[in-house]
Structures are given as structure tokens and as C-alpha cells.
Amino acid sequence: MAPVPNPRMIYAKPIPQGAWPVVGEHLVYDNSRTIDPETVPLNGGFLTKALYLRTRTNAAQALSRTCGRGCAKSIASYSSPMLAGAPVVGLCVMQIVRSEKPEFKPGDLVYGASHWELYTVQPYMEARRIWNPAEWPWWTANMDDFGDAQKIPDPKGAFSLSKYCSVAGSPGMTAYVSWKKYANAKKGETVFVSAGASAVGSLIIQLAKLDGMKVIASAGSDAKVEYLRSLGCDVPFNYKKKAYKEVLGEHGPLDVYYDNVGAEALAAALDNMNLFGRVIICGQVAEYNVAPEDRFGIKNTDMIFKRNVTVSGFLAPYIAGEYMGQFFEDVPRMLAEGELKSTERIYEGMEAAPQAFVDMLKGGWDTAEGKVVVSLVGM
């Protein structure tokens, strides 16, 4: 086989704090390289061909805080940044083409962090940092290490492989393992899910309904509210039209609050917690781009002790282990049986990748968010 093009997307240079990346400037489509899949040396590893690409969860933070190799020591982020000049790293669904590792066979499907490029010799190295914990604040995680490729079951057409970028992949796992670990769900209880139309939120709603709970969920448009209703949500509402505190005061008290938003949503939930309530903090999207001093300010943390509440914050990679096996058993089966709904926003081809990435960062669609996925199927 002759060499073939190996298209990729480069993270060309750091993005100024607070600015959006510009297609062709910060995020660059590059089709200049070729590779011969039959002869490229594997050095004991294996060669993958990417099928679906997803940005890593913390891409926005990683990008805006990156300042080039080695200068990030004092950055108060919880994840290691990407390297300027190298391909973007994200979670990908890939198929093994050739392998010198006995545990991976040609045709196997794997999911994990990799370069945004068509063919990659694994472990991917070009965009990988040399991780020396001593150079980083103690709380920083090496996101690369979390993403080592793992085999995924072949759905054999029962559902699209793109689901491994959403409900059957990292966002789904985030929702699933945190729900199992912290919700302590009981039939007849009430849960509130903020950002219910997000990839994580939409699975939480469905898991809570399977557990027999009454589900309240918020979103930012009427179309999303309809989406929430289609997921089985009992009390969907548009927080831009009706205040969190009003809806929760009317339909609470809450036994569980699943927080994807923070700020007003968190404050309203705390005011409406039931005794022995559980708050699970997955993320706080309302304040990611707000300077610390300008943030909302939670003034009712007293509710945490007055209602005997437990608040559990988590980073999925740290807690996934306990329930990961159960996740890979349950979710693909439920997907195959049509028990779970999810949406993705599919962009076709590597040329579309930079725009997909920018759109993912900006978000704000009127309909269900869905994970942004770049499809390379057929390339």
C-alpha cells in the first residue's frame, strides 16, 4: 500500500485568556502529512484509525490556560494543558489497524485520549507532555494518563459508534458513576438536574426516572424544555423564563440536586433541600468564564448543616473505577434495547474539525446540546 494522506488538526498557538479560538489561526486543519499504514513502525505499540473525535471535557480550560511547554507551573487549573504546535488531544473512538501488542488485535475498537488525526501510532507521543509531578501544583491531574485507550464492545449495528463519544463514553460515564456513587436514589424521591439538556444532564434525568424518582430539570430554551420532556422529565422548565427558586419552591423539597450550573441554581437548590439531601457537583458552567471576584456568591451554605446535607464534588477519572465495569455492562445494553436517548452533533470530516471545536466551546444551541463529534467514518 502506498502512503496515504493523514489529516489532522493542530493546536497552533495559545488563545488569549477570555477569547475564542479562531479557525485557521489557533486551530488549524493540516493535510500535509502522509503515512503508510502497512509499513509505519509500531515500536511495540499499535496503529489506530480514528472513527469519531470528541474534545476532552476540559478543553476550554486547557486551551485558554496553556502558555506553551513547561511554563504552566503556577496555573491554578486541575488538569494539564495541551501543547502548542502539536495536534489537539481529545477522546476518540478508534479501530486497531495493526498491532504489536498482544491485547489489541486488528479490528478491535478502542476509546481513549489520542491525537485528532486519522492514523496514529499508539501510544500517541507528539502532543504528550513529559509528566513530572514535581513541576505541577499538587492538585493538577495528568489528563493524558487518564485517557489510555481501552477496548470497547462492538455494538454490531445496535447503536452508532458515535455514542461512545456521548452517552456510552466519557460524558455518560461521568453521569453514570457519579449517580451510582453519590445519589443514593430512592423511589419516590425528588431530584433537580440543572443543565438537563447537556450530555451529562440528559443521562442523569433518565437514570433518575429508572430509579423511580420525580425529576425536575432546567434548560435555557423552550426547545430544550421539550427535549427534557421527551426524556421523561416530570417538571422541565426554562430558567430564563421562570426563576430557579420559584420552581424549586413549588415542586421541591429536593432529596438530590445534581449540579451542572452553580450560582443561582445551586443557591436555590440549597434553600430547598430536604433533610438528609444529597448535592452532587459535576460542574458549574454558569461560572467557568466569570472572574472569581465577579461570581454569584453562595450565601446559604448554612443550609448544608441545617438540613444535614452532603455535598459531593468529583472529577470523573478519580471516581470512575468503582462503577466502570457496571457502566460498560449497563449502558451499551440499555442503548441497544432502546432504553436510553442521547443526541450528538456530528461534523463530517477532518476539515470540519476546527469549526466543530469552536462551536463546542461556544455552545449555546437552542436545542439539546448534545456532544460535538467529528466523524471520520469512511475516510
Enclosing H/E stretch for 247 = helix 244-251
Report the alpha-carbon angle 256-287-163, nearest 5: 65
Q: Cell 485528532 maps to which residue?
A: 116
Q: How far is the CB of 80 from its own copies (least distance, A)?
A: 14
Residue closer to its own copies (CB basis): 6 or 174: 174
Q: How far is the CB of 148 from its own copies (least distance, A)?
A: 20
Residue closer to its own copies (CB basis): 27 or 281: 281
Q: How far is the CB of 319 from its own copies (least distance, A)?
A: 7
Distances (CA, A) of 71 to 14, 75, 90, 276: 12, 9, 22, 45
Residue closer to its own copies (CB basis): 240 or 306: 306
Q: How far is the CB of 360 from its own copies (least distance, A)?
A: 20
Residue closer to its own copies (CB basis): 103 or 302: 302
The grid cell for 343 is: 443526541
Of the candidates 89, 156, 85, the one whose C-alpha atom is nearest the C-alpha of residue 122 is 89
Indicate the residue type of 290: V
Residue closer to its own copies (CB basis): 176 or 347: 176
Q: Which residues are at the interface with its own copies (CB under 8 A)?
A: 78, 138-139, 253, 262, 266, 274-276, 281-284, 287, 292-293, 295-315, 318-319
Distance separating alpha carbons of residues 280 and 265, to the nearest angstrom: 13
Q: How far is the CB of 296 from its own copies (least distance, A)?
A: 7
Q: Cell 496515504 maps to which residue?
A: 4
- What is the three-class DSSP state of 161? helix
The grid cell for 356 is: 466543530
Residue closer to its own copies (CB basis): 131 or 276: 276
Q: How far is the CB of 368 from its own copies (least distance, A)?
A: 23
The grid cell for 302 is: 448554612
